[in-house]
């Protein structure tokens, strides 16, 4: 599943640099996560780094985007191939 930043975000700027997939960017009012780039850090870390660093605990699993660990790993592999090319 991709992660989702809720409207409780305080724009503290700590999640964006923590994301190894560059899936997080500043949105119109709060930070946003690009579902096509979010692997929940599968392939990089054991836990999502944005969730670890978020001081207000506003990053949740997106209920609209269910993905298995295998799907997240496949997305990670695709992203790393694209970056290597």
Q: Which domain holds residue 33?
A: 3-84
Give me Rg for the CA atoms of the chain: 12
Asked whether the beta carbons of 58 and 12 are under 8 A apart, the reply is no
CA distances from 42 to 9, 23, 56, 66, 72 (A): 23, 13, 23, 14, 6
Residue 83 has pLDDT above 90, yes or no: no
Q: What is the CATH number of the domain that holds 16?
A: 3.30.70.20
When pLDDT is cut at 50, 70 and 90, the band that residue 82 belongs to is confident
Query: What pLDDT shows up at residue 1?
Result: 76
- Tokens for 61, please give them: 């699993």
pLDDT in tens, 3-20: 999 999 999 999 999 999
Length of the chain: 85
* Number of domains the chain contains: 1
pTM of the model: 0.92
Continuous H helices in 1-85: 15-18, 49-53, 69-84
Q: What is the pLDDT of residues 45-76, one digit of tens each?
A: 999 999 999 999 999 999 999 999 999 999 99
């Amino acid at each position: 599943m991709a992660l989702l930043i809720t409207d409780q975000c305080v724009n503290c700027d700590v999640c964006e640099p923590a994301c190894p997939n560059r899936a997080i960017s500043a949105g119109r009012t709060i930070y946003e996560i690009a579902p096509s780039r979010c692997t929940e850090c599968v392939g990089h870390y054991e836990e999502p780094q944005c969730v670890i660093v978020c001081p207000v605990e506003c990053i949740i699993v997106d209920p609209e985007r269910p993905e298995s660990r295998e799907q997240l790993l496949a997305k990670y592999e695709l992203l790393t191939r694209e970056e290597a090319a």
